[in-house]
């Protein structure tokens, strides 16, 4: 069903952060930092994939994503919803259902046999495509997916994610230079605020996490091994 209720953006951010904390998708560990895909350390880690196992929460957040993109881009702005392999695929399917639109997905690279395709499903020349993923850090992975979509002759001027790190300089500008607008439900700052309100983590952890969020590159550089 197409959502028709449009909560304020700050309420969407607060409730999304609360949901992520409730299902323990958020992890803070300043004593033994996590290692990101980049190889750099981080005291924060988030696992949005857990959301698919919580029907009530995933339904709420997909409603939020649908209204977020409709409010920002328009009510008839898209013809196709594409998920990025792999985490974006279930969320793209859920958003496509809400917007009553076709769904496709984009491979990270050609599969190496058969049609050697990167796009699965039917994507047509001239279609306006919304790229959906679970999260973005610095926006880099989105550009490859967008280029694969555009190679079909379709257009892709918008990407939507549940979670946006919101701490690395130049992310939205980098996407904008590529002709892509970023839409998100919440950031690390929203999660930190909600964690403080709930008392979810101890004060020392939260203080160190805030130091990381304010200067992530400096924090990482000081802890490289």
Cα gap 215→41, rounded to integer Å? 13
In this structure, are residues 129 and 151 in contact, taking their beta carbons and an 8 Å threshold? no
Question: Binning pLDDT at 50, 70 and 90, where does residue 114 land?
Answer: low
Cα gap 105→86, rounded to integer Å? 9
Cα gap 20→37, rounded to integer Å? 21
- The CATH architecture assigned to 9-218 reads 3-Layer(aba) Sandwich (3.40)
pTM of the model: 0.94
pLDDT, tens digit (0-9, with 9 covering 90-100), for 11-48? 999 999 999 999 999 999 888 888 877 677 889 999 99
Which of 166 and 116 is assigned the larger pLDDT?
Answer: 166
Cα gap 36→190, rounded to integer Å? 21
User: Could you tell me which of 142, 137, 195 has the C-alpha nearest to residue 166?
Assistant: 137
Instruction: Name the burial class of residue 120, with classes exposed (0-12), middle (13-18) and buried (19+) by CB atoms within 10 angstroms of its CB.
Output: middle
Residue 78 pLDDT: 98
pLDDT at 77 over 80: yes
CB atoms within 10 A of CB 58: 19
Question: Binning pLDDT at 50, 70 and 90, where does residue 112 land?
Answer: low
Known binding-site positions: 107-108, 111, 133-141
| Ordered DSSP codes for 34-74 | EE-TTS-EESEEE-GGGGGG-HHHHHHHHHHHHHHHHHHH-
Cα gap 162→9, rounded to integer Å? 13
**Sequence ranges of the domains in the chain:** 9-218
What are the start-end ranges of the E strands in 109-174?
119-120, 128-136, 155-164
Question: Binning pLDDT at 50, 70 and 90, where does residue 225 land?
Answer: low
Known binding-site positions for orotate: 137
Cα gap 129→121, rounded to integer Å? 13
Average pLDDT over every residue of 122-149: 94
Known binding-site positions for 5-phospho-alpha-D-ribose 1-diphosphate: 107-108, 111, 133-141
């Amino acid at each position: 069903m197409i959502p028709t209720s449009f909560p304020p953006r700050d309420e969407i951010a607060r409730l999304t952060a609360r949901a992520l904390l409730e299902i323990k998708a958020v992890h803070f560990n300043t004593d033994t930092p996590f290692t990101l895909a980049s190889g750099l350390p981080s005291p924060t880690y988030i696992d949005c994939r857990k959301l698919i196992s919580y029907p009530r929460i995933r339904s709420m957040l997909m409603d939020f994503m649908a209204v977020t993109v409709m409010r920002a881009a328009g009510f008839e702005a898209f013809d196709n919803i594409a998920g990025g392999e792999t985490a974006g695929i279930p969320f793209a399917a859920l958003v496509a259902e809400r917007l009553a639109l076709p769904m496709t997905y984009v491979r990270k690279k050609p599969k190496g046999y058969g049609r050697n395709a990167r796009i699965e499903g039917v994507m047509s020349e001239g279609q306006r495509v919304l790229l959906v993923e679970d999260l973005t850090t610095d926006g880099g992975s989105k550009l490859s997916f967008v280029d694969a979509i555009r190679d079909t002759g379709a257009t892709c001027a918008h990407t939507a994610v549940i979670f946006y790190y919101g701490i690395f300089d130049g992310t939205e500008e980098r996407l904008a230079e590529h002709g892509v607008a970023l839409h998100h439900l919440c950031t690390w700052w929203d999660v930190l605020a909600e964690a403080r309100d709930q008392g979810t983590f101890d004060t020392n952890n939260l203080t160190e996490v805030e130091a990381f969020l304010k200067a992530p590159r400096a924090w990482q550089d000081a802890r490289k091994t």
